[in-house]
Structure 1
Amino acid sequence: MVFFFEKKGDEWMALLVVNRVYNNNTVLVDVDNSDQAIVQGKGVGFQKRHGDDISPTRVERIFYLNTKEAKHRFGTLLKDVPIDITMTSFSIIEMAKQTYHYPVMDYIYVTLTDHIAQTYKHIMAGKYQKSTAPDIRDKYPTEYEIADKAIEMINHDLNVRFPKDAAQAIALHFINAHGSENSEEKEKVEQADFGDNVNKIVKSVFKEYGITRNITNQNYFDRLMIHLQYLVARIQTHEQDKRILNRDIESDFQKLYPKSYQIASEICDKIQRRLDINLNDNELLYFLIHIQRIIQEK
């Protein structure tokens, strides 16, 4: 588990020292001079500076950055996503874990945060459009209940008004990320949910080639997970990318990155055969680009 979440308690008396103040309500702290964490609470960072102590009684939420990977991922997200949106997304994920005992793959910290940030931008710019993904609430009641609660948390924490239908896309994120990193079930291709099958096919091909997520490729790996979710949405709504690309591009990429091309072709072939769908050439190129980044084929 990458991030740990706790609510404050009177018995919690750790020493919290300010490392960085993000805003009045969010602070990066050193915990007992050994760990780092993000703490949240009303006014917890007000007039605080590096080296100041923070009273544990002021803390409402604490996220432990207990590994190098956690620190790196958090820092990467903050380059593109405001701290308030990042922390709200993490709170939603921890709510799902604790309240609903819902296991998720770690990449959801990136994919869900990215989705909420993009939706927030569209709403604030007046460009939000209702999701065209199919409603499968009857099949996944728990995921949709989590998503409904997530909308309430987003509107409260970010002082914004996400419409109720925005819960549908959030539910899909949890459906696609359901499971654990060590679950054998995730390695098998079963006839179950469409989006889950796409993920399983990619994971099974990666296993054949010995491709795993690590500290070096984790950002590119997580971006591929985001791409898969949008791919599923495009397929289910019959809205694949129909732009006409130069035919020489595929030929050039095949010569430049033969291994990436081979892996991408195998993934596309298995998706088409096992799910009985047709993917256009653009989808192959997108897979190739993501895979080349992950394996760093020269």
Structure 2
Amino acid sequence: MQLVIRSVYNNNSVLVNLGSGKQAIVSGKGIGYRKRPGDTISSTNTSSILYLEDERIKKHFATLLKDVPIDIVVTAFSAIDMAKKNYHYSVLNYIYVTLTDHIFQMYKHLMNGKYRSSMVPDIHERYPTEYAIAKDVLEIINKNLNVHFPDAEVKNIALHFINAQGNDPDSEPTDTLSMKVNRIVNAVFKEYNIKRNLNNQNYFDRLMIHLQYLVERVQNKALDNHALNNNIERDFHQLYPKSYEISGKICVQLESKLNITLNENERVYFIIHIQRLIQENENKPS
């Protein structure tokens, strides 16, 4: 079968038209060498093919290619598609961006000798499927990129799948509570330019895990009612005014948009997590 080239990324990767508006990324040794858009290649010369069937996935792919090497983008997308197919695991489309960026950042750190394992706690007993997926994804990364990330990276990869589990609104009419919580928190973080980076990754990932537990507590109507010192929230307000402000905005939006009530303990936990993130940013070397 002859495939028509739409774009040439490098000597080994091209974008092809499959007909009926469908496209795919085709990889193979030398298949893009001296090729131009409109030329054809034989499907028998390909070693792998990545289908881009969703318009949003196409847009994610095009956007990522502006900053991320093609081999890393293809590796991330292939790994996600593997999870969907082999584990029948549904994910929100934004994971194509977040996982690709994570792999790219970790790859750069590894190549520069600055890679550090995250201190994210091991929660594989609670999320066995996501950890199984992450192990397979790590194998794909190490093989495709010819690198060797340590097994500890499985925890970080699993967290991406835990946080992105669900169906996009276009394919599923109802959002999950986890999707809504993550969307609200990330929207507030965007206002304050809080992003996951090498310096704050441990604390950021701990917060994401906390959000998973929060969702479970809300669904089971089992919010933490352990009595805290009455002065803690007041003291935090004085010591960490910005963290107090951000956590307050998150809690207000969670309560109003999800029609839930968070007790004082949950508010304090948010302050602690957010202060860790901000403190990390303040200590980031210039």
Q: TM-score range by the shorter chain?
A: 0.5 to 0.7
Match in the other structure for 2:117: 130
State the alpha-carbon separation in 1 of the partners of residues 109 and 31 from structure 2.
30
Equivalent AA in structure 2 for residue 157 of structure 1: N
C-alpha offsets along residues 66-115 of structure 1, whole Å, 9 cap, x if unaligned?
Answer: 45433322111111211100000011101111111111111110111111
Aligned to 1:161: 148
Give the whole-Å Cα distance in 1 for the aligned partners of 2:81 and 2:166: 14
Match of 2:66, SS?
A: helix
Per the alignment, in what secondary structure is the counterpart of residue 80 of structure 1? coil
Separation in 1, partners of 2:145, 2:75: 8
Whole-Å separation in 1 of the counterparts to 2:208 and 2:249: 23
1:53 is the counterpart of 2:40: yes
> Can you list the C-alpha shifts for 1:241-275, whole angstroms capped at 9, x where unaligned?
x9xx997x99xxx9xxxxx9997562367796497
**Please, what TM-score do these two structures have when normalized by structure 1?**
0.64
Does structure 2 retain, via aligned residues, the 8 Å contact 1:268–1:279? no
Q: Does 1:200 align with 2:183?
A: no
Q: Does 1:77 align with 2:77?
A: no
1:233 maps to a residue whose letter is D
Cα distance in 2 for residues equivalent to 1:64 and 1:224? 33
Matched, 1:278 2:258: no
Aligned alpha-carbon RMSD (Å): 4.1
Q: 1:27 to 1:234 in 2, by over 3 A?
A: same
Partner of 1:105: 92
**Partner residue in 1 for 2:15:** 28
* 1:266 maps onto 2:252 in alignment: yes
Equivalent pairs, count:
236
Please give the alpha-carbon distance, in whole angstroms, between the structure 2 residues aligned to 1:51 and 1:185.
Answer: 42
Identity of aligned residues (%): 44
- Any idea what the Cα deviations from partners look like across 1:31-60, whole Å, max 9, x if unmatched? 238433211223322332222111011223
Bigger shift: residues 82-91 or 68-77: 68-77
For 1:128 and 1:225, locate their aligned partners in 2 and report how far apart those are by CA, in whole Å. 18
Structure 2 regions of 5+ residues with no counterpart?
Answer: 211-235, 278-286
Q: Does 1:87 align with 2:84?
A: no
User: What SS does structure 2 have at the residue aligned with 1:31?
Assistant: strand
C-alpha separation in 2, matches of 1:272 and 1:120: 39
Give the aligned residue type for 1:150.
V
Gap runs ≥5 in structure 1: 1-12, 189-195, 212-219, 255-259, 287-298
State the partner residue of 1:121.
108
Could you tell me the TM-score, scaled by structure 2's length?
A: 0.67
Q: CA deviation at 1:129?
A: 1.0
* Alpha-carbon distance in structure 2 between the residues aligned to 1:233 and 1:262: 20
d(CA) in 1 for partners of 2:251, 2:17? 47
Moved more, 26-35 or 264-273: 264-273
Quickly say closer, same or farther: Cα 1:89–1:273, change in 2 above 3 A.
Answer: farther
Aligned twin of 1:42: 29
- Aligned residues of 1:144 and 1:167 also touching (Cα < 8 A): yes
User: How much does 1:278 deviate?
Assistant: 2.9
